[in-house]
Amino acid sequence: MTAWLMIGALAVTTALIKAFGPVLVGGRELPPTAVKVIALLPPVLLAALVVTSTLSEGQRLHVDASAAGVAVAGVMIWRRLPLLVVVLTAVVVTAGVRALT
């Protein structure tokens, strides 16, 4: 539950920054550090959501075949392979691990 509250709080913070940022800044440029932090918020939220949905079952850590598929997909995305190849490979790996167990 704590992870979902954190994800929700970060999502609201991101939306507020995007909504009120132009009003508060008043046409001035943001410092480069602030721009970098704001640009990183959506990918971090998505990564947190993927990890939470893949590795948790209620209050417990739950590692199963889908964790292997997500791990393989993460490496393939890091290596900048085409998204279709990443998704299909992750599906095959997940199915293969499930077939072995």
Does 52 or 78 have the greater pLDDT score?
78
In a domain? residue 3: no
pLDDT at position 52 is 83
In a domain? residue 79: yes
The sign of the dihedral angle between the CA atoms of 65, 66, 69, 70 is negative
Tell me which residue has tokens 């299909």.
88
Which domain does 82 fall in, by range? 63-101
pLDDT, mean of residues 47-71? 83
State residue 35 phi and psi, 5-degree precision: -65, -40
In a domain? residue 100: yes
- The count of domains in the chain is 1
In a domain? residue 48: no
Distance of alpha carbon 23 from alpha carbon 43, whole angstroms: 24
In a domain? residue 31: no
Averaged pLDDT score across all residues of the chain: 86
